[in-house]
Amino acid sequence: MRYLRYVWFLLLLGALVGVGTVVLAMREDEPEPWSGSWVATARGVEVGVYPSPGAVEPSVRLKSPTASGAALVFLVEGRSVSGEWLPVHLPIRPNGSSGWVRRADVRLAANDYRITVDLHDRKLTFSQFGDVRWTTPIGVGTEAMPTPPGRYYVKELLMPGKEDALYGPFALGLSGFSDSPGAADFKGGEGVLAIHGTDDPDSIGEQVSHGCIRVPNDVISYLAATVPMGTPVEIE
């Protein structure tokens, strides 16, 4: 009789372990939510941006290529691209502008990269597949010309020449702008924010820029060779 008790106990223990294994296996099989984003690139020479899905008249028409010669790209808001309309972030003032574009007017591509900028700690974090790959110290805007926080995206890639050495070997233009006096028209430009290299390595880690984000030159070279246009850049 005592022997039978042991048998029942072992059977019960075996059943519990089996059930636990199955439950754990099921949890491991659950798909993780996708951590990437969608990039929409203009198909034609112009893309109408509408205030709401189904609107008749666009609120603005954006040209492609842009003034810099780059194909017009948008960062799609959210992760769903079903339906005829897409909510997108816009590369225009004011910062944070958004609208809707017709899906037929753009080509979609998935993107697994993300860049986050911590203004307080002055560091940039590079992520892929939702996992942090590395961080690097950065230079940010001064108190008079601060780097404006917000959700932006990479809209263009430039390769500065020797006459523009302050930008280092590459510059990634962002969808956001600085409105600070002295920054909004720096070098005759429109105050476009960027992540770029530098000819002054000692400025990395400091509050030194007109709003742009300075990274070491090996870092900007890596980013230029890696991130697609449309990569999200969150500055906080």
Partner 1 sequence: MVTALVGPLAVETGSTGTAQPGPELTATLAPMYVNPGGQVTVTAVQGCPQPMQVFWSLGPGALSGAAATGPDGRWVVRFPAPAGLGVVPFFAHCAFSQGAAAAAMYKQINFTVVAPVRPRFTG
Stretch that binds partner 1, among 28-36, 53-61, 92-100, 207-215 (CB under 8 A): 207-215
Contacts of 11 (CB under 8 A, 6+ apart): none
Smallest gap from residue 174 Cβ to partner 1 (A): 9
CA–CA gap between residue 116 and residue 156 (Å, rounded)? 17
Among 236, 232, 235, residue whose Cα is nearest residue 78? 232
Active site residues per annotation: 196, 212
Strands (E), 82-170: 85-89, 98-102, 106-111, 113-118, 123-128, 131-137, 140-141, 150-158
* Residue 91 in contact with partner 1, rule: CB under 8 A: no
The two three-digit tokens of residue 176, written as one number: 């956001």
Among 62, 101, 138, 145, binds partner 1 (CB under 8 A): 145
181 within 8 A of 160, measured Cβ to Cβ = no
* Residue 124 in contact with partner 1, rule: CB under 8 A: no
Strand-pairing partners, residue 214, are: 139, 196
Contacts of 52 (CB under 8 A, 6+ apart): 100
Smallest gap from residue 126 Cβ to partner 1 (A): 15
Among 49, 86, 115, 212, binds partner 1 (CB under 8 A): 212
Smallest gap from residue 172 Cβ to partner 1 (A): 9
Please, which of residues 185-204 interact with partner 1 by CB under 8 A? Answer: 186-194, 196
State in Å, rounded, how far the first CA of the chain is from the last one: 70
**Interface with partner 1: number of residues (CB under 8 A):** 47
Among 159, 201, 218, 236, binds partner 1 (CB under 8 A): 159
Smallest gap from residue 148 Cβ to partner 1 (A): 10
* Residue 220 in contact with partner 1, rule: CB under 8 A: no
Residues that bind partner 1 (CB under 8 A): 41, 64-65, 67-71, 73, 107, 141, 145, 156-161, 163-164, 166-167, 170-171, 173, 178, 183, 186-194, 196, 209-212, 224-229
